[in-house]
Amino acid sequence: MNKMTRPAPVSEMLAPRSVAVIGASEDQTKFGGRLFHMLVRHGFGGTIYPINRKRETLSDIPCFARIGDTPSAPDMAVMAVPRDHVKAAVTECAEAGTKAVIIITAKFSDVGEEGARLEAEVVEEARRHGMRIIGPNCLGIISPANSLVLCASPALYVDELLVGRIGMVSQSGALMATLFDRAQTRGVGFSHCFSIGNQADMEMCDFLDFLVEDPATDVICAYIEGVKDGRRFMEVAERARAAGKPVLAVKAGRTDFGAAAAFSHTASLAGSYEAFEAACSQSGVVLMDDPDAMVMLAAALTRFDRPERMETALMTTSGGGGAITADRLTDLGLPLATYAPQTVAALEEHYLPDNARANPIDMGAAKAGGSMLVGEDSVHALLTDPETGVVLCPLTTAPDMRLLCECLAKGLARAEEGGTRKPCLVVLQPGQAANKARAELLKHGLFFFDGLDEAIRVIDGYRKLLTLAPPRGARGTSPAGAAPDAASGALDEAAAKQLLDGYGVPVNRGAVAQDAAAAGKVAGDLTGPFVVKVVSPDIVHKSDAGGVALGLTSAEEVAQAVTEMAARLGQSHPEARITGYLVQEMVEGELEMFVGARRDPLFGPVVMLGAGGVMVELLKDVAVRLAPVTPDEAREMIAGLRVAPLLEGFRGSAPLDIDALAEAVSRVSWLAHDLGPRFAELDVNPVLVRKAGEGCTGVDARILMEEE
Ligand code: ADP
Ligand code: MG
């Protein structure tokens, strides 16, 4: 945390003695009207100060014309006033001694330059008085744990707020309200939900910090469009992990299109998704791609123990539903359980031997023929099966589903009394036929899924949680003694290779010559066969331009290749400045890989590894980690690639030198790290990898450094 700002008082914001609602009214079609209504409706225990010039009272609560008129300074204020009134209202609050305000009003930095200027002014005004701001462009706070609602969403027209142990931070207010609403109807509650909008003052990590410490929260969900401070995000995630609180996240902007949408939405730069993914996996955050499934995984994590294994047992009312579920799990590589003998014996009480071994268990096939009563023993048998990690009940529409749900709840309760708190995930289709069944589950304190897809995503999320990389150990030290000294701008192949060589990354030998005769001489000092490449700041893709000649066997051939290349390029690229010809040794290899690095604006240098050449773009088979990485981590990167089998030895082909490649990746990552803040990009493509024990060599390289 930045030591310069005082810690954000989120816990104080959740327990204000008094709240001013600026623009409070009885008109619930207006934000101010709903803000006031929801605060009263959900039983806020402190004093409410409605600010309204035209009224004496609202719902028997005395109104005030100005914040300055209230008998004591309100601890919190919430406002949805028109944008042009925000600054004045903020000044009033700050001067009155308000500790924090929530600004619902939008059209600040979310709409461009002018809005951003106004936003900065508002923040400065608040900071002068030590007042904190949530928003603008947010929906505020819903805190069921504290009976505090500072939010105007229609999702709050409910009689009771379900209290759960899930804390949520969302950069989108509308999404927060939607998730809240859907969760609530499925029996899932929250401790606190924060919609943080433009994060003009308080940012996501302030709220994450709070949730990590919060005794009312066990699991944290975050909907993220852009992270403000990458290192701080990782640090708080690591603290959550140490505290045993899973952090689940969904990040918008995975695709270029999504990134553009996120930018215009809350004005935060969506950093590259891959770097974010790497940061999440290295700091123990489970990254998901569906916000509803994220909340449901959180619900499952707060309701049940974490599974210790991924084998899933299915229990269904229809053969069809079960078969489709089994397919979906199998597609994702999620295993289906094979029951232990005692489980089969227990199931044989109700099913014929073949059916008792089947996964899915089809209650329709029970000996009692369609009686829902078998549900209790069946689910109990599956939950207590030692070979099963998760029980999934995708229930299709059937007669008497209410009774079935009652039986399920009983079987689950019996298992839990016996000490098993394994996940039992129940899917009910959204139609009216399941209305009574849903109510029955809720009565027993059991949440349910509306569709199979979410339940499958939750099981996949469990797997991610189970297979998270352990906390990062020590990084070791740089392979180079002193920080490298690199010029600004694009470094050509020769200059880039010199830096790589200094870091012990194997590169082939060569030297630049100005003309054909000099090139022939250079070849004399090298071991053939040779390669000639044009050196030009204007030719990035040398082979595309005809600027690479391979397989030259003598000094004469090298000289001739230079003469021909000069003539050819003079024709095809008359504008290109040619600064020389790189004569180098030709290298053998079984497989072309690429190793790269770039500086991510949020997370710093990242290192990348993938299949080399044109396949990079075609296959998008790339592993990304934050730099630097150890050789062991580089080996994990290799193992995760789709081309890994080619390196490990595929169908009788010899295994390649994975150790040498991993070592090179680690060294490149250190170079990227040590090049410091001017470092922009680095590309070694290809790295030719030979058979195990024979090493690898980078034969082309580029580095881009920014100006001082
Ligand atoms: P560019 O990427 O600018 O087109 P490269 O230097 O990568 O140029 O050369 C193009 C291709 O030529 C490489 O992908 C590799 O297949 C081959 N190549 C280049 N240099 C060598 C070398 N020294 N030994 C073996 N093959 C090479
Ligand atoms: Mg290349």
Number of neighbouring beta carbons within 10 Å of residue 422 = 22
Q: Can you tell me whether residue 241 is helix, strand or coil?
A: helix
Q: What is the DSSP letter of 393?
A: E
CA distance 200 to 413: 47
Report the sign of the C-alpha dihedral through residues 145, 149, 150, 152, in that order. positive
**Is the pLDDT assigned to residue 68 strictly greater than 60?**
yes
pLDDT at site 8: 55
β-bridge pairing 219-224 and 163-170: parallel
| Phi and psi based region of residue 520 (left: phi greater than 0; alpha: psi -120 to 50; beta: remaining) | alpha
- CA-nearest residue for atom 11, ligand 1, is 543
β-bridge pairing 604-611 and 622-626: antiparallel
Residues 536, 605, single domain; the answer is: no
Let me know if residue 498 belongs to a domain. Answer: no
Q: Which long-range contacts (CB under 8 A, 24 or more apart) does 617-623 make?
A: 619/643, 622/274
Higher pLDDT, 239 or 8: 239
**Is the pLDDT assigned to residue 256 strictly greater than 70?**
no
247 φ/ψ angles, rounded to the nearest 5 degrees: -110, 120
**Is the pLDDT assigned to residue 91 strictly greater than 50?**
yes
- Which ligand has an atom closest to residue 527 CA? 1
Q: Report CA(546)–ligand 2 centroid distance (Å).
A: 13
- Nearest-atom index, ligand 1, CA of 545: 4
- CA-nearest residue for atom 22, ligand 1, is 586
Residues 679, 615, single domain; the answer is: yes
Q: Report CA(587)–ligand 1 centroid distance (Å).
A: 9
Residues 43, 110, single domain; the answer is: yes
Q: Can you tell me whether residue 683 is helix, strand or coil?
A: strand
Testing ligand 1's pocket by substitution, the residue of 508, 540, 543 carrying the most ligand atoms inside 8 A of its CB is 543
AA letter at 86: V
Q: How confident is the model at residue 330 (pLDDT cuts 50, 70, 90)?
A: very high
Q: Is the CB of 584 under 6 A from ligand 1?
A: yes
Q: Report CA(609)–ligand 2 centroid distance (Å).
A: 14
Cβ atoms 312, 337 nearer than 8 A? yes
Tokens matching residue 180:
């809240």
**CA distances (Å), origin 531, targets 325, 511, 695:** 56, 11, 20
- Nearest-atom index, ligand 1, CA of 548: 9
Let me know if residue 499 belongs to a domain. Answer: no
Q: Report CA(489)–ligand 1 centroid distance (Å).
A: 22
Residues 373, 299, single domain; the answer is: no
- Which ligand has an atom closest to residue 532 CA? 1
Let me know if residue 146 belongs to a domain. Answer: no
**Is the pLDDT assigned to residue 4 strictly greater than 80?**
no
Q: State the DSSP H helix or E strand holding residue 45, giving kind and residue range, or none if neither.
A: none
Residues 691, 679, single domain; the answer is: yes
Q: Is the CB of 542 under 6 A from ligand 1?
A: yes
Average pLDDT over residues 41-68: 95
Q: Is the CB of 613 under 6 A from ligand 1?
A: yes
pLDDT at site 272: 79
Q: Which of 593, 592, 607 has its CA nearest to residue 274?
A: 607
Q: Report CA(701)–ligand 1 centroid distance (Å).
A: 10
Q: Is the CB of 587 under 6 A from ligand 1?
A: yes
Tokens matching residue 109:
């930095």
pLDDT at site 259: 54
pLDDT at site 689: 97
**Locate tokens 């005030």: which residue?**
64
Of the candidates 270, 303, 336, which is a domain's last residue? Answer: 303
Q: CATH number of the domain that 535 lies in?
A: 3.30.1490.20
Please give the model's pTM, rounded to 2 decimal places. 0.90
Q: Can you tell me whether residue 119 is helix, strand or coil?
A: helix
| pLDDT tens per residue, range 185-211 | 999 999 999 999 999 999 999 999 999
AA letter at 168: M
pLDDT at site 541: 86
Q: Report CA(219)–ligand 1 centroid distance (Å).
A: 50
The H-assigned helical ranges of 129-255 are 173-185, 204-213, 230-242
Average pLDDT over residues 558-572: 96
Residues 129, 173, single domain; the answer is: no
Residues 311, 439, single domain; the answer is: yes
Q: Report CA(508)–ligand 1 centroid distance (Å).
A: 11
Residues 312, 454, single domain; the answer is: yes
**All residues at 6 or more sequence positions from 418 whose CB lies less than 8 Å from its CB, including other chains:** 384
- Which ligand has an atom closest to residue 685 CA? 2
Residues 636, 692, single domain; the answer is: yes
Testing ligand 1's pocket by substitution, the residue of 531, 539, 552, 685 carrying the most ligand atoms inside 8 A of its CB is 531
Tokens matching residue 276:
């974010």
Of the candidates 303, 320, 339, which is a domain's last residue? Answer: 303
- Nearest-atom index, ligand 1, CA of 686: 14
Q: Is the CB of 686 under 6 A from ligand 1?
A: yes
Average pLDDT over residues 112-137: 95
Q: Report CA(687)–ligand 2 centroid distance (Å).
A: 9
| pLDDT tens per residue, range 158-190 | 999 999 999 999 999 999 999 999 999 999 999
Residues with CB in 5 Å of ion ligand 2: 685, 700
Average pLDDT over residues 39-61: 95
The H-assigned helical ranges of 284-427 are 291-303, 319-331, 341-348, 353-357, 374-383, 401-417
Cβ atoms 625, 665 nearer than 8 A? no
Q: Is the CB of 47 under 6 A from ligand 1?
A: no
Q: How confident is the model at residue 472 (pLDDT cuts 50, 70, 90)?
A: confident
Q: CATH number of the domain that 644 lies in?
A: 3.30.470.20
Let me know if residue 475 belongs to a domain. Answer: no
Q: Can you tell me whether residue 180 is helix, strand or coil?
A: helix
Q: Is the CB of 543 under 6 A from ligand 1?
A: yes
Lowest-confidence segment of 481-485, 580-584, 617-621 by average pLDDT: 617-621
Let me know if residue 118 belongs to a domain. Answer: yes
Q: How confident is the model at residue 258 (pLDDT cuts 50, 70, 90)?
A: low
Q: Can you tell me whether residue 412 is helix, strand or coil?
A: helix
Q: CATH number of the domain that 333 lies in?
A: 3.40.50.261
Question: Burial code of 267-286, b = ≥16 C-beta within 10 A, e = fewer?
Answer: bbebbbbbbbbbbbbbbbbb
CA distance 61 to 390: 52
- CA-nearest residue for atom 16, ligand 1, is 686
Residues 433, 530, single domain; the answer is: no
**How many CA atoms within 13 Å lie on the side-chain side of 142?**
35
Q: Which of 344, 403, 353, 354 has its CA nearest to residue 378?
A: 344
Tokens matching residue 232:
């701080």
pLDDT at site 473: 79
464 φ/ψ angles, rounded to the nearest 5 degrees: -60, -40
pLDDT at site 268: 35
Let me know if residue 490 belongs to a domain. Answer: no
- Nearest-atom index, ligand 1, CA of 539: 3
- CA-nearest residue for atom 20, ligand 1, is 699
Query: What proportions of the chain, in percent to the nearest 5, are helix, strand and coil?
Result: 40, 20, 40
| pLDDT tens per residue, range 331-375 | 999 999 999 999 999 999 999 999 999 999 999 889 887 678 899
Cβ atoms 152, 34 nearer than 8 A? yes
CA distance 147 to 122: 29
Question: Burial code of 496-512, b = ≥16 C-beta within 10 A, e = fewer?
Answer: bbebbebbebbbbebbb
Residues 27, 97, single domain; the answer is: yes
CA distance 102 to 92: 14
pLDDT at site 154: 95
Let me know if residue 292 belongs to a domain. Answer: yes
- Nearest-atom index, ligand 1, CA of 540: 3
pLDDT at site 2: 38
pLDDT at site 5: 45
Q: How many domains does the chain have?
A: 5
Question: Domain range spanning residue 225?
Answer: 162-303
Write down the mean pLDDT value for the chain: 92
**CA distances (Å), origin 118, targets 83, 112, 134, 605, 691:** 9, 10, 15, 34, 62
**Is the pLDDT assigned to residue 385 strictly greater than 50?**
yes
Q: Which of 461, 143, 424 has its CA nearest to residue 298?
A: 461
Q: Is the CB of 586 under 6 A from ligand 1?
A: yes
E strands, 201-339, are 219-224, 247-251, 285-288, 312-316
Which residues, in sequence order, are bridge partners of residue 233?
Answer: none
| pLDDT tens per residue, range 260-294 | 554 443 333 334 788 999 999 999 999 999 999 99
Q: Is the CB of 533 under 6 A from ligand 1?
A: yes
Let me know if residue 76 belongs to a domain. Answer: yes
Residues written for the chain: 708
Of the candidates 279, 303, 327, which is a domain's last residue? Answer: 303
Testing ligand 1's pocket by substitution, the residue of 508, 552, 590, 699 carrying the most ligand atoms inside 8 A of its CB is 699
Q: Is the CB of 508 under 6 A from ligand 1?
A: yes
Q: Is the CB of 604 under 6 A from ligand 1?
A: no
Residues 174, 106, single domain; the answer is: no
**CA distances (Å), origin 51, targets 35, 99, 142, 366, 526:** 12, 17, 21, 65, 84
The H-assigned helical ranges of 555-676 are 555-572, 615-619, 631-639, 644-648, 658-674
Q: What is the DSSP letter of 472?
A: P
